[in-house]
Structure 1
């Protein structure tokens, strides 16, 4: 779980003789660990800065993460996780990471970068089922590359840890009463994983619990303008 990660991190920090952290920060899953640090060990965290993340996984995120896992689970080489010393579920893992890459980017990025261009100039996608668009080919290559340095079971356990996440191990509402550090929430309003409404709910819940929350919206590469919007 995310709590397990943070427990190990705390043990490492304490082994180095550190008793107080001036700032805990991290993006994406690192933001979940930031929330966990602030809720589980409030006496150690002076300030918290979760970047593009929420204080707990909602139903929509849980379901999307299930979609991420699905290609591995239907790959016969996964063998219910018992594939070590055998052929690993490389195809399923590659396709899973293709899905992650797509959802981690916005439609504006996809349209601006690839449009409707074919993968090969002489292979019109309208002429044969096997002729592909450029975005399909590029995403598959990205998934293949990442799969070569990843492990399917490791990825599935990360997915489960994210699905189970609620700051402090119970609920964000409960965590909000434990967090003492001021929180600087940095978000991208059009993120497709940690959506704007999910992050807004996190900010509102923290504020209701008495947490000092600042909320900054940042722009992505495909967004018009580049000035953060402060709340």
Structure 2
């Protein structure tokens, strides 16, 4: 049996322990100061004596540092890339020390396994939640927090940085900002900047929250939260991350059985079609551990993104020393394939070492999470090549 055919479910993995990192007076990219910052991090594998076998996994928008493994034997779910990270897998924890860090303003503010500082956190100056007084944060701030975590472990260079979606933004920002740290960078379902189309699309996610009367300009922590707005935002995000093919397959299932002329929607505007109810049920379950303000902050960080965080993307790309691999999804409607293709071509034109390999599947953007094993061998070969 080859490593590629081995199921991660059959490989014994040690349980994951969430670690905590704290720092004071963190200065943001926009020159604001957050007096107290705490973020969680997880690791898989063993840090070698030279501390040069480190692979950083930068997580996507609605995720956290739980990239692989379980917290307990009876944990019902594993980390989102559990099929990719582990002993003898593509990102082999027999060889590499794999680490991931919770983002600032992490969406899962009420997830017991997430440690983050954001609008829902207590402002030490007031003793109350920050709300919208929390500074606007950027992808660069997420990168800089990760760098502090790594440095606290005595790490001075990465073997590779790999990230999907919002994580791809962090990965390429690492490569442009700290090129001496990054010899290999993999961008999955990613982008090097938020163009006009993407920025406008992401803005749609924020509108339901802002229109929810319970949002109250972000001041809801001692009252009723804007749950309806948050659920609506997550419905948009879920649909944007999928494809018409997948949604239509759900609609044709016996559990949903979508029909244009369904009885309830015909009798009242207040009733929705069953496929809309499916989206709402999915979003409602996810909303239980999420915070609405945190979603707004992550959306803004994504909208503000350009690799290198300066006005000229080509100049920023010229500073990359890493070999790069871009893995877009062919039917991605969120971070469309052209975003990866364009930066790949730009790097090639600059004489950089860059590869591109496109995911297939019917899940659109989510191919980069749930179908990533399609490119497992490509990823393994890329990170193991000297």
TM-score by length of 1: 0.90
Which residue matches 2:180? Answer: 43
SS of 2:308's partner is helix
5+ residue gaps, structure 1: none
Deviation at 1:124, TM superposition (A): 5.3
The more displaced of 108-117 and 29-38 is: 108-117
- Structure with greater proportional helix content: 1
CA spacing shift, 1:6–1:74, aligned 2, 3 Å = same
> How many pairs were matched up?
226
Deviations 1:9-59 (A, max 9, x none): 011111111112111001111110000110111001110001001100000
Give yes or no for the alignment of 1:101 onto 2:101.
no
SS of 1:24's partner is strand
Deviation at 1:84, TM superposition (A): 1.3
Which residue matches 2:298? Answer: 158
Using the alignment, how far apart are the partners of 2:293 and 2:314 within structure 1?
31
Deviation at 1:227, TM superposition (A): 7.0
Deviations 1:126-185 (A, max 9, x none): 454344322101100111111111001111000000000000101421221111001000
SS of 1:26's partner is strand
Give yes or no for the alignment of 1:191 onto 2:328.
no
Decide whether the 8 Å contact of 1:123 with 1:131 is kept in 2: no
Decide whether the 8 Å contact of 1:38 with 1:181 is kept in 2: yes
Which residue matches 1:74? Answer: 211
Deviations 1:101-126 (A, max 9, x none): 0100011101122138249xx84544
Decide whether the 8 Å contact of 2:331 with 2:362 is kept in 1: no
Using the alignment, how far apart are the partners of 1:68 and 1:17 within structure 2?
39
Deviation at 1:86, TM superposition (A): 1.1
Deviation at 1:196, TM superposition (A): 1.8
TM-score by length of 2: 0.55
Where does 1:51-90 land on structure 2 (aligned, <5 Å)? 51-90=188-227
The more displaced of 135-144 and 123-132 is: 123-132
Give yes or no for the alignment of 1:173 onto 2:305.
no
5+ residue gaps, structure 2: 1-137, 365-372, 379-386
Decide whether the 8 Å contact of 1:172 with 1:205 is kept in 2: no
Where does 1:96-175 land on structure 2 (aligned, <5 Å)? 96-115=233-252, 117-118=257-258, 123=263, 125-170=265-310, 171-175=312-316
- Structure with greater proportional strand content: 2
Using the alignment, how far apart are the partners of 1:208 and 1:169 within structure 2?
21
SS of 1:43's partner is helix
Which residue matches 2:75? Answer: none
Decide whether the 8 Å contact of 2:326 with 2:357 is kept in 1: yes
